[in-house]
């Protein structure tokens, strides 16, 4: 099943619209809606300072990636179509190179009652890694796993220091909490979350929660999410 994705990318002097019918749970290329070309060919040499990416349903992540080296230059969260806060779209300025692609990972709403899908970004001194949890059961602790490798945080980021975790869930989902658990089952950190706009009670169009921290990850550690679906 596909999800309609539409984004605007640019700077105060210009912007371009990118869109696609994106495959669920796959990074799908987004092309210029006028020229049909990738961002590297549509905007070469332009310095972009914001990315406002939207999905018609569910949640997801966007990224600007090199097609030659696979280096991810920037990434962030989408918002629901029709609910965009430009101030949340701002990024560190990036000069677009000809080999760059703009992609969206569209995470659908979970079709099973009392289960939710969500995505997350985990920040360390090594960079930013994309994670997800699929089929998170209401009230149960569900670990984040890498979108790319399916590894948990302790295996993928062993030895790194987490400075921030950001989480975005499907429409209407409440993020009850995020907790970092060590290999012995001890809870090292707990943070409370929220709803995501346009659901009442939300404070962000993109996130259910953002959690600054300074935790050095050890082998076997887990980052759990605890949610309640709409």
At 58-72, the pLDDT tens digits run: 999 999 999 999 999
Work out the number of other CB atoms within 10 angstroms of the CB of residue 116: 28
Kindly report whether the peptide bond that precedes residue 66 is cis, defined as omega within 30 degrees of 0: no
pLDDT at 72: 97
Domain count, the chain: 2
From 107, 130, 163, the end of a domain falls on 107
Q: Is 17 helix (H, G, I), strand (E, B) or coil?
A: strand
Same domain? 103 vs 125: no
Rounded to two decimals, the pTM is 0.95
From 53, 88, 107, the end of a domain falls on 107
Structural domain that includes position 120: 115-228
pLDDT at 114: 96
Same domain? 90 vs 120: no
Same domain? 207 vs 173: yes
Q: How confident is the model at residue 104 (pLDDT cuts 50, 70, 90)?
A: very high
Same domain? 182 vs 119: yes
C-alpha 220/C-alpha 188 separation (Å) is 13
145-184 b/e (C-beta count within 10 Å ≥ 16 → b): bbbeeeebbbbbbeebebeebbbbbbbbbbbbebbbbbee
Same domain? 6 vs 84: yes
> Is a pLDDT exceeding 80 seen at residue 1?
no
Same domain? 173 vs 202: yes
Closest to 118 (Cα-Cα) out of 139, 103, 135, 140: 135
C-alpha 22/C-alpha 61 separation (Å) is 12
């Amino acid at each position: 099943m596909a999800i309609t994705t539409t984004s605007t990318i640019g700077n105060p002097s210009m912007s371009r619209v990118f869109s696609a019918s994106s495959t669920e749970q796959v990074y799908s290329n987004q092309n210029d809606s006028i020229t049909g070309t990738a961002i590297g060919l549509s905007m070469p040499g332009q310095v972009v300072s914001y990315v406002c990416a939207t999905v018609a349903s569910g949640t997801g992540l966007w990224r600007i990636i090199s097609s030659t080296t696979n280096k991810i230059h920037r990434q962030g969260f989408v918002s629901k179509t029709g609910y965009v806060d430009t101030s949340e779209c701002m990024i560190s300025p990036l000069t677009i190179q000809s080999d760059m692609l703009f992609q969206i990972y569209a995470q659908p709403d979970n079709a099973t009652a009392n289960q939710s899908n969500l995505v997350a970004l985990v920040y360390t001194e090594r960079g930013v890694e994309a994670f997800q949890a699929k089929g998170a059961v209401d009230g149960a602790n569900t670990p984040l796993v890498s979108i790319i490798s399916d590894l948990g945080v302790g295996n993928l980021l062993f030895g790194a220091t987490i400075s921030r975790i950001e989480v975005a869930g499907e429409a209407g989902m409440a993020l009850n909490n995020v907790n970092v658990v060590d290999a012995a089952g001890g809870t090292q950190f707990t943070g409370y979350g929220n709803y995501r706009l346009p659901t009442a009670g939300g404070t962000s169009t993109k996130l259910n929660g953002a959690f600054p921290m300074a935790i050095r990850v050890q082998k076997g550690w887990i980052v759990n999410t605890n949610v309640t679906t709409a």
